[in-house]
Amino acid sequence: MTPLRRKRTAAPNLAIEKSFASAGHRYVAGCDEVGRGALAGPVSVGIVVVDLDAPSPLRGVRDSKLLPPAEREALVPRIRRWSVASAVGHASAEEIDGLGLMSALRAAGSRAWASVLDTVTPDVVLLDGNHDWLSARSQGTLFGTDDGGPVTVGQLDTVGCTSPVQTRIKADLTCLSVAAASVLAKVERDALMVSLAADHPDFGWDVNKGYATESHRAAIDAAGPSRYHRRTWRLGSLERPDVARTESGG
């Protein structure tokens, strides 16, 4: 019996981005996040801005999850040259614990947004998913002090995205700017986790990149969580009665 061939998905393109030209928009930013479902490390947000007056093809780009590491890494300099502006922002495990996941994503996205603004102000942003966590909102946070008590932290060091945001489910599969943003964020976050693994070899971050593998959970059971773990989540394989099960994301 002949094995079934895996159907190759169509490459993302600029058709959606170009649809904004009719409204007078020239600079369209694609935005995507990585690290949402990890147990350790930051959430990271990539933004890639394209100029609709000078669009050009960029071959080989797919959603970062569909590409092997070597191909993702080779694409980074090409994406940087191709785009008008690009950036990646991060929010730490501590911020995820203190702010909550959605607000931490906004903080990471706002940092990337602030970097992009040094070059260009996008007219509109295409955001992967169905929820706008990127647009600017006023927010503070609570973190624990050394003695266990809460302390209020003022406004975050971020301005937030002030351009219109259009959410689109599976935009990383269809929109070239969003797929490119996912590649930049994935490569930068993976490199960060590999660098952290050198000082925390028990957790295997150079392989699992902080995600919830069986061996990662077992290592947390044995050694306890590090400062880079999201301590409000269920981390190990053992139930901890003092920690709520707030793990979320994909």
Q: What pLDDT digit, counting tens, does each position of 160-214 carry?
A: 899 999 999 999 999 999 999 999 999 999 999 999 999 999 999 999 999 999 9
What is the C-alpha separation between 241 and 221, in angstroms, rounded? Answer: 14
Between CA 118 and CA 125, with CA 122 as vertex, the angle to 5 degrees is 125
**225: pLDDT strictly greater than 80:** yes
Q: pLDDT category, 245, cuts 50, 70, 90?
A: very low
Q: Is CATH 3.30.420.10 the right assignment for the domain spanning 14-135+159-189?
A: yes
DSSP 21: G
pLDDT of residue 247: 42
Q: pLDDT category, 29, cuts 50, 70, 90?
A: very high
Q: What pLDDT digit, counting tens, does each position of 124-160 carry?
A: 999 999 999 999 875 444 444 333 333 333 345 556 8
Q: pLDDT category, 239, cuts 50, 70, 90?
A: low
| 3-class DSSP string for 200-245 | CHHHCHHHHCCCCCHHHHHHHHHHCCCCCECCCCCCCCCCCCCCCC
Q: What pLDDT digit, counting tens, does each position of 46-96 carry?
A: 999 999 998 788 888 888 888 889 999 999 999 999 999 999 999 999 999
Between CA 34 and CA 41, with CA 35 as vertex, the angle to 5 degrees is 135
| Confidence (pTM) | 0.85
pLDDT of residue 66: 83
What is the C-alpha separation between 82 and 86, in angstroms, rounded? Answer: 10
Contact (Cβ atoms closer than 8 angstroms) between residue 139 and residue 103: yes
Residue 12 CB partners (closer than 8 Å, separation 6+): 61, 62, 63, 172, 173, 174, 175, 176, 178, 179
Partners of residue 43 on adjacent β-strands: 91
Binding residues for a divalent metal cation are 32-33, 128
Which of 2-6, 22-26, 237-241 ranks highest by mean pLDDT?
22-26
pLDDT of residue 157: 53
Binding residues are 32-33, 128
